[in-house]
Amino acid sequence: MYGLSLYLSYKKIMTETNFQTFNINTTTPYNYILGNSLLWDIGNLCRKIKNPCKVCIISDEKVFSLYGNVVQTSLDVAYFHTYSFKIPEGETNKSLNTVESIISFLNENNFNRDDILIALGGGMIGDITGFAASIYMRGINFIQIPTTFLSAIDASIGGKTGVNLKYAKNLIGSFHQPSLVICSIETFRTLPQEDLRNGLVEALKMAIIKDSSLFYYLKKLSAKQHLRQDFTQEHPIENTSNTISQQLYNLKISSDDFMFIIEKSIAIKTKIVIEDEKEQHTRVLLNFGHTLGHAIESYSKFTISHGTAVALGMIMESFAMKQLEFVKTDFSIDLYKILYNFGITPPISLDAKLLENFIQKDKKNRENHINIPTVTQIGESNIYKVSKNTLTEFVSESLNILEEIKHEV
């Protein structure tokens, strides 16, 4: 009764909620619903695509403690029969062991092909839930509810799922499109500073490869920032009606900024995914900064965040492409300044030789070369075949150049 009374008290908020719907026309089409204060309406939104059935909410312990009860109550009121499976936080839990535990739980509770999974959390939760959904009974439906800025513009779109092995990131996986994506941006208000930076890096990547207008929007936004590295959330929002900028006063990013960045990023990624759903060619563009970025993450045993690793990867790859004379202009310094203004300072003290070993294990390797995105100028990109030896030759030199750039900012 407590859950029902809370639900009814929020009914007015729900009915007045504004949201936008984007059509993702992949082989299995689905909608992406973007708005604010949507969590209490999850049940109704799910009912539009699925009759009441068993639902398993998969989340990490922290996210579930924040939003699990709200989502579960909304689903219960909409007559879904809800279960929950919680995973400890951290990328190290994105493993086959965790997938096996999820599948055992589903089997013990008699889930069948008519039932659905819901990924409530960031990219790790989305990846592992999607992978479990793709292999349980040879495939069941799942819904993405991204709660991080990064997963809202990246992992929740496009159907990539997977888990890590100790050798490399996302080495085992599948393509399995969600049935629905629901992003309610008030969840960003509880994110640590680093998680917001991760999303900004991903948005910047999108802008660099395909949209110069988004790049200059982000550049202008970065110029407004006055970040502290030791920032802590000292003034939490008392209710969701306040703007996100009140919570993130140092970042000075408004709800409208987030909405604009996400809308632009959805458009970029959707266009690329529709053209190349299984990553045979065009979709490789989305890996800009990720060849070296994933190597850095693996090298650090995931102690370096995804955003910081990709930020460093983008700078190093842009330098390498300049040396190979694939690009018209060098934007490395400009990129570094934007990242710096957003409070993202990539580490320099990396062992180049060890890093090269992880590059050799990249899943995009083809015999003796890697298909790598190359930005010819901001907003324009192509894919080139680069030998693994050539790419690794630039790693050490790129780290030295980064040290020089750092002193110029």
- What CA–CA distance (Å, rounded) separates 340 from 335? 9
pLDDT at 246: 36
How many other CB atoms are found less than 10 A from the CB of residue 184?
26
pLDDT at 244: 41
Catalytic annotation, pick one of 164, 287, 341, 371: 287
Question: What are the counts of helices (DSSP H) followed by strands (DSSP E) for the chain?
Answer: 17, 12
| One pLDDT digit (tens) per residue for the chain, 409 residues | 444 444 444 443 444 457 999 999 999 999 999 999 999 999 999 999 999 999 999 999 999 999 999 999 999 999 999 999 999 998 889 999 999 999 999 999 999 999 999 999 999 999 999 999 999 999 999 999 999 999 999 999 999 999 988 777 788 999 999 999 999 999 998 998 888 999 999 999 999 999 999 999 999 999 888 544 333 333 332 333 334 433 333 677 889 999 999 999 999 999 999 999 988 889 989 989 888 888 888 778 778 888 888 998 898 888 777 777 777 777 888 888 899 888 887 666 676 666 666 666 665 666 677 788 888 889 999 888 877 777 777 777 677 666 666 666 6
3 state DSSP class of 48 = coil
Is 366 among the catalytic positions? Answer: no
- Structural contact between residues 152 and 126, judged by C-beta atoms closer than 8 angstroms: no
Please name which of 76, 79, 88, 83 lies closest in space to residue 56, comparing C-alpha atoms: 83
**DSSP tag of 337:** H
- Strands 141-146 and 180-184, by their bridges, are parallel
pLDDT at 229: 37
Q: Give me the residue spans of the domains in the chain.
A: 2-190, 195-408
- What CA–CA distance (Å, rounded) separates 239 from 228? 25
DSSP strands (E only) in 178-240: 180-184
- What CA–CA distance (Å, rounded) separates 195 from 188? 9
- What CA–CA distance (Å, rounded) separates 156 from 181? 7
- Strands lying side by side in the sheet with 380-387: 365-366, 369-377, 380-387
- What CA–CA distance (Å, rounded) separates 392 from 266? 32
CATH topology of domain 195-408: Dehydroquinate synthase-like, alpha domain (1.20.1090)
Is 220 among the catalytic positions? Answer: no
Is 269 among the catalytic positions? Answer: yes
Is 61 among the catalytic positions? Answer: no
Is 202 among the catalytic positions? Answer: yes
- What CA–CA distance (Å, rounded) separates 26 from 159? 9
Query: What pTM does this model have?
Result: 0.84
195-408 shares the fold of 2-190: no
- What CA–CA distance (Å, rounded) separates 232 from 395? 34
Is 160 among the catalytic positions? Answer: yes
CATH topology of domain 2-190: Rossmann fold (3.40.50)
Is 306 among the catalytic positions? Answer: yes
Catalytic annotation, pick one of 306, 317, 341, 388: 306
* CA contacts within 13 A on the Cβ side of 141: 18
3 state DSSP class of 365 = strand
Residues whose CB falls within 8 Å of the CB of residue 78, separated by 6 or more in sequence, listed in order: 43, 44, 46, 47, 52
pLDDT at 14: 43
- Strands 180-184 and 30-35, by their bridges, are parallel
Residues whose CB falls within 8 Å of the CB of residue 407, separated by 6 or more in sequence, listed in order: none
DSSP run (H or E) holding 271 = helix 255-275
Catalytic annotation, pick one of 50, 160, 169, 197: 160
Torsion angle of alpha carbons 315, 317, 320, 322, nearest 10°?
-70
Catalytic annotation, pick one of 16, 97, 110, 138: 138
Catalytic annotation, pick one of 169, 269, 322, 388: 269
Q: How far is CA 25 from the centre of its chain?
A: 20
Is 11 among the catalytic positions? Answer: no
Catalytic annotation, pick one of 283, 297, 371, 388: 283
- Structural contact between residues 113 and 140, judged by C-beta atoms closer than 8 angstroms: yes
* CA contacts within 13 A on the Cβ side of 376: 6
Catalytic annotation, pick one of 279, 297, 317, 356: 279
Is 189 among the catalytic positions? Answer: no
- Strands lying side by side in the sheet with 54-60: 19-24, 30-35, 180-184, 141-146, 116-121, 54-60, 81-87
